[in-house]
Amino acid sequence: MSLESKLFRGDAKLEAAARQDSAHVLLGASGAHVLKIQSALMLLDDAKIDSGETEQSSYGSSTAAAIKAYKEKRSIINHSYQTQADNIVGKMTIASLDQEMLKFEKSESSRLCNRDENRSASANTIPPL
């Protein structure tokens, strides 16, 4: 499965997380891929992630808590061996984040286009005398 959202697609580490269990994103990870996950959580769930973690693109305790909350809210659980959500970004989690980001990006793009169209229409309207 290839990731589709603009935020995630083309990121090798996130693409790997979508395909391989060995590529899960875990507590302690760092890099651009972590910052993308943090950004998605903040946009989609208004997650409160420690600024030190986002500044360093590090998967710390507040990122882990945000992932767990995201998964609990959506019941992202591998029922073959879990009874509750964890704080790991694996196949199911990255797929869910990606699909939600894709929808968000489309709605945001549509909203911006509508706003620009309204601006253009009002800019071209001659005010009444």
pLDDT given for residue 2 in this prediction: 92
Residue 86 DSSP label: -
Residue 4 domain-assigned (yes or no): no
Residue 6 domain-assigned (yes or no): no
Residue 82 domain-assigned (yes or no): yes
Please give the model's pTM, rounded to 2 decimal places. 0.84
Q: Point out which residues pair with 89 in neighbouring strands.
A: 25
Across all residues in the chain, what is the average pLDDT? 90
Inter-CA distances, 113 with 7, 44, 122, Å: 19, 20, 14
Q: What pLDDT digit, counting tens, does each position of 4-25 carry?
A: 999 999 999 999 999 999 999 9
Residue 94 domain-assigned (yes or no): yes
Domain span including residue 107: 12-122
How many domains, in total, are found in the chain? 1
